[in-house]
Amino acid sequence: MPVIDLRSDTVTQPTEAMRQAMANAPVGDDVYGEDPTVNRLQEMAAALLGKEAALFVPSGTMGNLAAVLAHCGRGDEVILGDQSHTFLFEAGGISALGGVHSRQIPNQPDGSLDLDDIRRAVRPDDAHFPVTRLIALENTHNRCGGVVLTPDYMQSVAELARAHGLKVHLDGARLFNAAVALGVEPAALAAPVDSVTFCLSKGLCAPVGSVLCGSHDFIARAHRVRKQLGGGMRQAGVLAAAGIVALETMIPRLEEDHQRAKRLARGLSALPGLVLATGEPRTNMVFLRLEDGFSLPGAPGDPAPRIAKMLTERGIRVGDVGPRSFRLVTHYWIDDEAVDATIAAFQDILQTAVVRSSD
Ligand SMILES: *Cc1c(COP(=O)(O)O)cnc(C)c1O
């Protein structure tokens, strides 16, 4: 029985068409700029996002790091959300490797940063303070539930940034999920910002890689940073080839993942003891929480990891993202039967649970 893996869309394996394209890709030395397949992917990505240039990088983490280091010098400050991936999950790279100071402000439940919070966080010109250089946004916002920022909101942030001489970077690891959910062109989401990263290796199914996009000058600086980080890859066309297939064929179908996330959310939140933690899914993520009165008989221990383990025994993997919470992410390899099997397995396990009313 194949495992139903809902921990993340990063678990997606390349499709048959990707494997074919990888096997047949023309390649060259990309550190010399001579890999035709990498060059083609970069041109496609820049065109799709309406930017002058693009850079293929091994991961979203490196894309964000190269972007922050290309925008900021040592001791400069970036304003970002306290729930952002760059702040929480990138091993502190911007400060460890770039000497960039982070100023965290609260992410609102919709993934946005409050414009007044941003305004207050911008440093005045004073030798006591770091110099504010950059605002970083995330769309879709992972930790806030796969929620989407609208082009209008991003435009307001960009105007604020411009008024203070700041740049804006967008962590668009799942930018295409946001575009599909909003029914807008990816370029409309990239237009307000100076730089944007997106992942090929998540819902788009490519095995490896992200792309950073921006102006020619910006990409030239980021290219040097990528080299410093050890991210110059040689015959990387074998990877970029899968990325090209991803951009050509995988974007419109993300809507299916969003529909399945909604179905999963409806089915699971109807079970006793489980509630949606971040509302109805907007894209491909379902966050669930066990109600306060919930307990599971048997061995002690936090209930979410215990339930996750029981699911694993039934061939279903979900993320336990807290002692009482789960994250489930739909993707190309999750079909309707997998959704039904997941709901049924949760139902089976939760049958034995006790839910006291918490009034
Ligand atoms: C996955 C992710 C990244 C980093 O991508 P990796 O390729 O795993 O390094 C960055 N930002 C967000 C929001 C992500 O979900």
Following DSSP, what letter does each residue of 163-209 receive, concatenated? Answer: HTT-EEEEE-TTHHHHHHHHT--HHHHHTTSSEEEEESSSTT--SS-
110-119 pLDDT tens trace: 999 999 999 9
Question: Do residues 116 and 250 touch, judged by C-beta distance below 8 A?
Answer: no
End-to-end CA distance of the chain: 43
The string of pLDDT tens digits covering residues 30-50 is: 999 999 999 999 999 999 999
Name the fold adopted by 14-249. Answer: Aspartate Aminotransferase; domain 2 (3.40.640)
Predicted pLDDT of residue 359: 52
Integer Rg of the chain from CA: 21
pTM reported for the whole predicted model: 0.96
CATH architecture of the domain formed by 253-358: Alpha-Beta Complex (3.90)
152 SS3 class: helix
**What is the Cα–Cα distance from 29 to 159, expressed in whole angstroms?**
40
Is the CA virtual torsion 340, 341, 343, 348 positive or negative? Answer: positive
Q: Per-residue pLDDT for 189 more than 60?
A: yes
Element (H, E) at 103: strand 101-105
Supply φ then ψ for residue 250, to 5 degrees.
-100, -10
CB 264 within 8 A of CB 326: no
Mutate to test the pocket of ligand 1, among 61, 84, 170, 321 (most ligand atoms within 8 A of CB): 61
Q: Where do runs of H (alpha helix) occur along the chain?
A: 16-24, 36-49, 60-71, 85-88, 93-98, 115-121, 151-163, 175-182, 186-190, 216-228, 237-249, 254-269, 303-313, 336-350
CA 302 to ligand 1 center in whole angstroms: 27
Mean pLDDT (whole number) for 182-211 = 98
Rounded distance from Cα 212 to ligand 1 centre (Å): 12
Which structure tokens are listed for 15?
A: 């499709």
Q: pLDDT digits over 64-81, tens only?
A: 999 999 999 999 999 999
Q: 214 vs 299, which has greater pLDDT?
A: 214
Residue nearest to atom 6 of ligand 1 (CA): 60
Distances (CA, A) of 118 to 135, 169, 197, 297, 309: 8, 14, 21, 47, 41
Model pLDDT, residue 358: 56
Q: pLDDT class for 84, splitting at 50, 70, 90?
A: very high
Per-residue pLDDT, 295: 85
Confidence class of residue 174 from pLDDT cuts 50, 70 and 90? very high
Per-residue pLDDT tens over the stretch 116-135: 999 999 999 999 999 999 99
Q: Whose CA is nearest to atom 3 of ligand 1?
A: 60
The whole-number average pLDDT for the span 90-113 is: 98
- The set of protein residues with a Cβ atom below 6 angstroms from ligand 1 is 59-61, 64, 85, 138, 142, 171, 173, 199, 201, 210
**What average pLDDT does this structure show over 178-192?**
98
Residues 6+ apart with CB under 8 A from 310: 349
With tokens 């460890």, the residue in question is: 96
pLDDT tier at 247 (50, 70, 90 boundaries)? very high
Is-contact 6 332, C-beta < 8 A?
no
**Per-domain residue ranges for the chain?**
14-249, 253-358
* Token reading at 138: 């995330």
Given a cut of 80, whether residue 1 has pLDDT beyond it is no
Task: Kindly give, in sequence order, each residue whose CB lies less than 8 Å from that of residue 259, ignoring residues fewer than 6 positions away.
Answer: none
Contact 253, 210 (CB under 8 A): no
Please state the rounded mean pLDDT for residues 282-297: 92
- Complete DSSP assignment for 4-55: EE-S-GGGPPPPHHHHHHHHH-----GGGT--HHHHHHHHHHHHHHT-SEEE
Cα 281 to its chain centre, rounded Å, is: 15
